[in-house]
Amino acid sequence: MRERALDDSMEMMDRSRPEATTEPPPLTRAQLVVLLFVIPTAMALLTVAYRHLDTVANGVSRPFMAPLVEELTGHYGGVLVLAPMVFLAGRIGLARRRWPAHVAFHAIGIAVYSGLHTTLNWGSREVLFPLVGLGDYDYGDIPVRYAMELPKDVSIYALVFVIAALFDRYRASRDRELRTADLEARLARAQLQNLQAQLNPHFVFNALNTISSVMYEDVARADRMLAGLSELLRRALQASRRHEVTLAEELEVLGLYVEIMRARFGERLRFDVAVEDGLADVLVPTLLLQPLVENAVRHGAPPPPEPARIEVRVRREGDDVVFEVEDNGPGLEVDGWSGAGVGLANTEARLRGLYGDAPSMTLGRGRLGGLLVAIRIPLRRNSAHALAPEEAWTGSAS
């Protein structure tokens, strides 16, 4: 019940998830700290080192604190003015507007930035120079200073907006990649659900057809088969809410199906299961084995009176789990999976959907002389399940 509730809640989250937009995701706090403090501080210190070494190289004596205060106020002042302008451009969606809007915004932006930046430099240094023992600060002829700072401010303004545009493009591209991956995952999930939806009615039809073939010959036997089918459908519906179940659960469903088949064929059906110890909690695709056994019963039985023999083997090989279903029938000649019938073709498609394009299912001839279906999947465990294989298997070998 808890797993069903979890699946239902995930589906509700998927349905309620808003449509993806082209807006890049907001900056994180760490990114803001880097952009607004770390980078300007590093650039200021590098410039201070350059200016101090330049005075030393020229034999000029000037306190180290002077370029330090000048560069820190210049860089922090630039951030204080430019950061709101960059955020304003993003807020109004400047990148999506036509070129006249860009020209108007940046023409006003450059004038505002240069004027405020130069004013902040002048005012902050007038205050800080006396506080650190450097005396009065002389910024020179102020009108000339505004004109002198303008070319440098234009360069800085352009560089910052180019970097901001490239950064936004990177974030938007990464967001598109995430959305694409999410859509691909949803498509794969939908394909798996479609394949599973095809398999369930096919299985029910075949089981009912089997029961109808004996109901007029032996009512009691048909009644037992119906009771078994009811339990089998209950288990199968519980499992069908997930794409994967534990091997123990899969063997329970398989055991119920085999009992229905035994009720029909009696001693003509001989069925053996061999499961390596320690694999009961391994995750396997839902209804993995039942379609293979059904195919063996329908197509792999030799002509009477020879009994039909079906063997199911599960073992571990390295980091994989190998499943083998073998019969003693005439074998199966197929031209690709399209000729293998709904059960085999559907199972192969589901395996590709779950585990990719790696060859995980093969057909061949086994030691019993009939068809051998071998499946290899990655070994993954469900730690919440701890049944032993013999506890999971409800049928008995005969």
* Size (the chain), residues: 398
The helix (H) or strand (E) run that includes residue 231 is: helix 219-239
Please report which residue ranges of the chain form alpha helices under DSSP H. Answer: 2-16, 29-33, 39-57, 65-91, 99-131, 142-212, 219-239, 247-265, 289-299, 341-355, 389-392
Q: Are 321 and 379 in contact (CB under 8 A)?
A: yes
Closest of 275, 285, 124, 295 to residue 195, by C-alpha:
285
What is the residue extent of each domain of the chain? 29-182, 213-392
- How would DSSP label each residue in 178-198? HHHHHHHHHHHHHHHHHHHHH
List the chain pLDDT tens, one digit each, 398 residues. Answer: 333 433 443 343 344 343 434 455 566 767 766 777 888 888 888 988 888 888 888 888 888 888 898 889 888 888 888 888 888 888 888 878 888 888 899 899 999 989 999 999 888 898 999 998 888 888 888 888 889 889 988 998 888 888 888 888 888 888 888 877 776 666 666 655 555 555 456 667 767 877 787 788 888 888 888 888 888 777 766 666 677 889 998 898 888 888 888 877 778 889 999 999 999 999 998 888 888 888 888 777 787 778 889 999 999 998 899 999 999 888 765 544 444 555 677 778 778 777 776 658 888 888 888 889 999 998 988 765 434 444 444 444 44
pTM over 0.75: no
* The predicted structure's pLDDT at residue 325: 93
What CATH topology corresponds to 213-392?
Heat Shock Protein 90 (3.30.565)
* The predicted structure's pLDDT at residue 26: 65
